[in-house]
């Protein structure tokens, strides 16, 4: 059982922090899209819990953690209330939210990879599910809001790569029997710092090697 790398209460607190910041990002998008208060709550819940829900369905961990832990369900509602009443202030704190979101990304990619491995998946599949845990909620958020997922867009700073690196580090540690709270924490921090750097220096991924093509211009 790698899943409890940290003591349960530490792990649970970290999970709730990740859920809270993801929920804030969902609630803010809902406000921007002019949704009502229930729309804000739904988008907060989906953003915060969607990635883990997908992972749990795939690995057969039913009912998923999102439906068995009351704290997981209530936390996004707190984020909803906060955004509902304070959203101009929350928006002014966007930079802070982004830092927390980067922390959530790091925590979720590591926790997702470890949980998937505990349920018997291979290392590559576990790393994929770690990535899906970290980015899945954001993709669902954008699909429900009827926008192109920002994960896929070339004009956004790198988001998937930090999570891929974090998940891959965990998979490599498991492979070489070196997964400890220390290495695990190191993976979280690496993903976190990479994401911060990507935002700070506007790292972007290349688009298709299409210089000889005129397709994009004519579309």
Segment contacting its own copies by CB under 8 A, of 9-17, 26-34, 165-173, 192-200: 26-34
Alpha-carbon span 209 to 30, nearest angstrom: 35
CB of 27 to its own copies, least distance (A): 9
Peptide bond into 63 cis (omega under 30): yes
The reply on whether position 203 binds its own copies by CB under 8 A is no
CB-based burial label for 194 (10 Å; 0-12, 13-18, 19+): buried
Minimum CB distance to its own copies, residue 14 (Å): 22
Rule CB under 8 A: choose which of 23, 42, 107, 198 binds its own copies.
42
Asked whether position 185 contacts its own copies by CB under 8 A, the answer is no
* CB neighbourhood size of 163 (10 A): 29
Per CB under 8 A, contacts with its own copies among 120-179 are 120-122, 124-125, 128-129, 139, 143-149, 151-154, 160-161
Report the residue from 7, 178, 182, 204 that binds its own copies according to the rule CB under 8 A: 204
Pair 195, 187: CB distance under 8 Å: no
């Amino acid at each position: 059982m790698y899943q409890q790398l940290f003591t349960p209460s530490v792990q649970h607190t970290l999970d709730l922090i990740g859920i809270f910041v993801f929920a804030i990002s969902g609630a803010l998008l809902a406000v921007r899209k002019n949704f009502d208060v229930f729309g804000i709550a739904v988008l907060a819940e989906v953003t915060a819990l969607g990635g883990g829900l997908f992972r749990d369905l795939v690995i057969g961990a039913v009912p998923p953690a999102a439906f068995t832990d009351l704290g997981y369900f209530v936390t996004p509602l707190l984020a909803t209330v906060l955004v509902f009443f304070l959203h101009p202030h929350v928006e002014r704190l966007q930079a802070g939210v982004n830092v927390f979101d980067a922390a959530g990304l790091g925590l979720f990619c590591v926790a997702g990879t470890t949980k998937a491995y505990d349920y018997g998946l291979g290392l590559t599949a576990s790393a994929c599910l770690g990535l899906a845990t970290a980015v899945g909620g954001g993709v669902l958020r954008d699909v429900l809001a009827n926008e192109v997922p920002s994960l896929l867009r070339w004009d956004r700073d790198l988001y998937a790569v930090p999570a891929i690196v974090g998940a891959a580090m965990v998979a490599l540690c498991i492979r070489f029997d070196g997964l400890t709270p220390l290495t695990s924490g190191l993976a979280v921090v690496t993903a976190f710092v990479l994401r911060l750097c990507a935002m700070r220096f506007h790292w972007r991924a290349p688009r298709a090697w299409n210089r000889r093509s005129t397709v994009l211009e004519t579309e």
